[in-house]
Amino acid sequence: MRRIALYSVLLAMAAPWAGAQTTDRATKELIEKLLARIDGLEKRVAELENGKATAPAAAPEAVTAAPLAKAVSATQAMHQSHDQAPAPQTAGPEATPVYPSLKIAGFSDLDFSATNLHSAATGFGAQTLLETHSGFEEGQFTLHLSSALSPKVTMFGEITLTARSDAGTGSPAAAGFNAEVERIMIRYDANDYFKVSFGRYHTPINYWNTAFHHGQWLQTTISRPEMTQFGGSFIPVHFVGSLIEGAAPAGGLNLNYAVGMGNGRGQVISRGGDFSDINNNRAWLVDSFIKPDALYGLQLGGSLYHDSLNPLTAPAAREWIESAHLVWQKETPEFIAEFANVGHQPISGATASNSQAWYVQTAYRLPWLQKLWKPYYRFEYIHVPKSDAIFRTVVPTFHASTFGVRYDITTFAAFKFEYRSYVRRDAPNFHGFFGQTSFTF
Amino acid sequence: MRNRGGSFSRRAMLAGAIALAGMAASGGAQGADIAIVVRPDVPVDNLTFAEVRRLFLGDRQFWTSNVRVTLLVRAPGARERDVVLKTIYQMSEAQFRQYWIAKVFRAEAAAGPRIVYSNEMAGELVSGMQGAVAFMLADQVPKGLKVVKINGLLPGAKDYPLH
């Protein structure tokens, strides 16, 4: 009797799902999943029946109903965890949220590179995968944690384990993994217009830096543009301090803003001031962008950043960064363009310098072959004048073209294949082939 | 010992019944408008289509300073979900999932939408949760919930956008 009732419940639950499908692959998968659930439930019913045989004979129906409901809920959750993206969550029977509500998601990637480089590509970030030897590389293993602590307070964290040639033990250091807290923040949301947070961020003066973070699977290409590469120095990738941010409809423009104050760059300028600032001048930033209702998918924005630098290997200077971006967030086509100008004014009064970087990336998800293929192209450019004492030894001057294709093997995993060609100032040109599989879990 | 033959035939019958039920549900719901429903104490009666989009994209997260929006979204396969993905999100199923993974990863939202498996479940949760908003077939909206107008139109009206 209970089994019949159980089947009826399942049938009622399944009907709306099946409703929008005919006999396509999704429907078949759905039926297979439902059958798997039935197997699980049958097993559970059998267990309950066996348990009932040894239990007191007069066990009331209501008592067995509760474990049954739990079993259904558990199988639902199991089914959900494999069928749904990590972000959407199953609505349980309880309407009241529970705090804290920790959720963990992950990203990772494995890479292959082969170039005709004969010496180290100085100034490029390690994750640009420019090695003198071809081979496979373990990318990053990234864990993302989010937890609502109350209706208005939320924490977010991002931890990475990154393969490095010098992260292991011994002398010289062996290869190993480097652990890093990439982002950690706690945010109080007063409303949509005003949110205040404290922590370690990816500096919000650049679109890519705050759109994809360490989730290689999220981005179309294998690697980030060099101007915003992890371990690179052109823009300060990390920012330790506080942000005030929010959004307002603004007559359909959907104006978003962020204002921040923090430690700025460390003495090694590719690093943020994690422990404390290296001087008594805080860095500050203002960032703003619009997402107009009338052009759904468009984002247009700009930002301003200021810091005082005391680098290890160059004279102290004031740094100003102006940047802008234009993005079409859809995939037919996808378009991302960014520009940044970094100005350094030595405090000693020496000649000021300005370095520029920009890139344009376009991609298109092909309408055929189940829309799994997305070819792409990116042109990127960085120019550092020789008068820039801070950048000239750590930021390469080059331009490069990247041709590639992304193939989404499942909803949550992709293969990417690229050919890149680099033209450098004062160094030989080179090119290479690159491959990656990246995924979320 | 379980009777494997009997289990197989039950499973085959069940699979057939699911397919039939699905087709029946699909046929019955074909063409019905999709209503946006909230609890009566949500201080909103009418939204523009752009505001509905901001709401379901997670860009608007508060009804008022004290009431946070909780999105309820039907599980994959439901016609209501297909309509909302096509008209509001303008995304495929894969793009929708990637959108919410990225949204949470960017720390723009603490969690994605809650998944509901039926209009009844959606109705119960909207009734029980302050600030919850769901979409469901207009002819299945339970009593006691408020249907939000879109561009001043209720479901069934000419030019109502969600169908």
One-letter-per-residue 3-state SS of A3-39: HHHHHHHHHHHHHHHHCCCCCCHHHHHHHHHHHHHHH
Measured distance CA(B57)–CA(B52) in Å, rounded: 8
Q: What is the pLDDT of residue A20?
A: 38
pLDDT score for A274 = 85
- Give the residue on B whose Cα is nearest the Cα of A293: B50
> Cα–Cα distance between A406 and A402 in angstroms, integer?
13
Task: Pick from A38, A182, A411 the residue to mutate for testing the B interface (most B CBs within 10 Å).
Answer: A411
CA end-to-end span of chain B: 50
Look up residue A359 and give its two tokens: 């890139």
CB contacts under 8 A, B 35-64 vs A, are: 50-51, 53-54, 59-62, 64
Q: Is the dihedral of CA B112, B114, B118, B123 positive or negative?
A: negative
A254 interface with B at CB cutoff 8 Å? yes
In B97-156, the residues whose Cβ lies within 8 Å of chain A are 97-98, 100-107, 110-119, 121, 125, 128-129, 132
How far apart are the CA of B128 and the nearest CA of chain A, in angstroms?
A: 6
Q: How far is B110 from chain A (nearest CA, A)?
A: 6
Enter the tokens of residue A93.
């029977």
| A329 interface with B at CB cutoff 8 Å | no
Instruction: Give the model's pLDDT for residue A47.
Output: 64
What CA–CA distance (Å, rounded) separates A7 from A3? 6
State the pLDDT at residue B96. Answer: 96
Closest of B114, B123, B105 to residue B68, by C-alpha? B114
Q: For the ranges A341-345, B22-26, B27-31, which has the lowest average pLDDT? A: B22-26
- Best mutation target among B101, B127, B136 (most A Cβ atoms within 10 Å) is B101
Q: What is the ipTM, given to two decimal places? A: 0.81
Residues 18-37 of B with CB under 8 A from A: 18-19, 21-26, 29
Place of tokens 């941010």: A245
Question: Helix (H, G, I), strand (E, B), or coil: what is residue A312?
Answer: coil
| pLDDT tens for the 441 residues of chain A, in order | 445 444 544 444 444 444 333 445 666 666 666 666 666 676 666 666 655 544 443 333 333 333 334 434 444 433 444 344 444 555 555 567 889 999 999 999 999 999 999 888 888 988 888 888 999 999 999 999 999 999 999 999 999 999 888 888 888 888 889 999 999 999 999 999 999 999 999 999 999 999 999 999 999 999 999 999 998 999 999 999 999 999 999 999 999 999 999 999 999 999 988 888 888 899 999 999 999 999 999 999 999 999 999 999 899 999 999 999 999 999 999 999 999 999 999 999 889 999 999 999 999 999 999 999 999 999 999 999 999 999 999 999 999 999 999 999 999 999 999 999 999 998 999 999 999 999 999
Determine the Cα–Cα distance for residues A394 and A390; give it in Å rounded to an integer: 8
Q: How far is B157 from chain A (nearest CA, A)?
A: 23
H or E stretch at B124: helix B119-128
With an 8 Å Cβ cutoff, is A7 touching chain B? yes
Tokens 């004031």 sit on residue: A318
Does B8 score more than 50 pLDDT?
Answer: no
Type and span of the H or E element at A249: none
For chain A, domain boundaries: 2-83, 104-440
From 3.40.190.10, 3.40.630.30, 3.40.50.1000, 3.40.50.1370, which CATH number describes the B32-150 domain? Answer: 3.40.190.10
**A127 to chain B, minimum CA–CA distance in Å?**
20
Cβ density class A269-279: b for 16+ within 10 Å, e for less: bbebbeeebbe
β-pair type (B70-74, B132-137): parallel
pLDDT for the residue A12:
43
Q: Point out the residue among A31, A215, A440 whose CB comes nearest to the CB of B18.
A: A31
Q: What CA–CA distance (Å, rounded) separates A265 from A274? A: 9
So what's the pLDDT on residue A45?
Answer: 64
CB contact under 8 A, A18 and B72: no
Q: What is the CATH number of domain A104-440?
A: 2.40.160.10
Q: What is the largest CA-CA distance in chain B?
A: 62
Judging contacts by C-beta atoms under 8 Å, the chain B residues touching residue A20 are 22, 26, 77-79, 81-82
Q: Whole-angstrom Cα distance, residue B120 to residue A69? A: 17
Pick from B73, B94, B112: CB nearest A408:
B94
Task: Decide if A203 touches B, using CB distance below 8 A.
Answer: no
Residue length of chain B: 163
End-to-end CA separation in angstroms for chain A: 39
| Banded pLDDT at B3 (limits 50, 70, 90) | very low
Residue of B nearest to A147 (CA): B110
Question: Of A160, A143, A140, A71, whose CA–CA distance to A103 is shortest?
Answer: A143
Angle at A239 between CA A237 and CA A241, to 5 degrees: 175
Instruction: Collect all residues of chain A within an 8 Å Cβ-Cβ radius of residue B44.
Output: none
Q: What is the Cα–Cα distance from A84 to A64, expressed in whole angstroms?
A: 29
Restricting to B residues 79-108, those with a Cβ less than 8 Å away from any Cβ of A are 79, 81-82, 90, 92-95, 97-98, 100-107
